[in-house]
Amino acid sequence: MNQPWWLLLLTIAGLTLVTVLTRALFLIPERELPLPDWLRRGLKYAPLAAIAAVVAPEVLMQDGQLIHTLADARLPAVLLASAWYFWRRSILGTIVVGMAVYLPLHILLGW
Window from 23-32, 40-49, 63-72 with minimum mean pLDDT? 23-32
- pLDDT greater than 80 at residue 87: yes
Cβ-based neighbour number of residue 74 at 10 Å: 19
Chain segment 1-17, per-residue pLDDT in tens: 677 889 999 999 999 99
Asked if the structure places residue 39 within a domain, the reply is: yes
* Highest mean pLDDT, choosing among 26-30, 67-71, 107-111: 107-111
Chain segment 14-30, per-residue pLDDT in tens: 999 999 988 887 777 78
Asked if the structure places residue 28 within a domain, the reply is: yes
When the pLDDT of each residue in the chain is averaged and rounded to a whole number, the result is 90
Q: What is the dihedral of CA 7, 9, 14, 16, to 10 degrees?
A: 160
Q: DSSP state, 107?
A: I
Asked if the structure places residue 67 within a domain, the reply is: no
Asked if the structure places residue 103 within a domain, the reply is: yes
The closest of 72, 78, 71 to 55, measured between CA atoms, is 78
Range of the domain at 23: 10-60+76-109
Predicted TM-score of the model (pTM): 0.60
Torsion-angle region of 87 (φ positive above 0: left; ψ -120 to 50: alpha; else: beta)? alpha
**What's the structural domain count of the chain?**
1
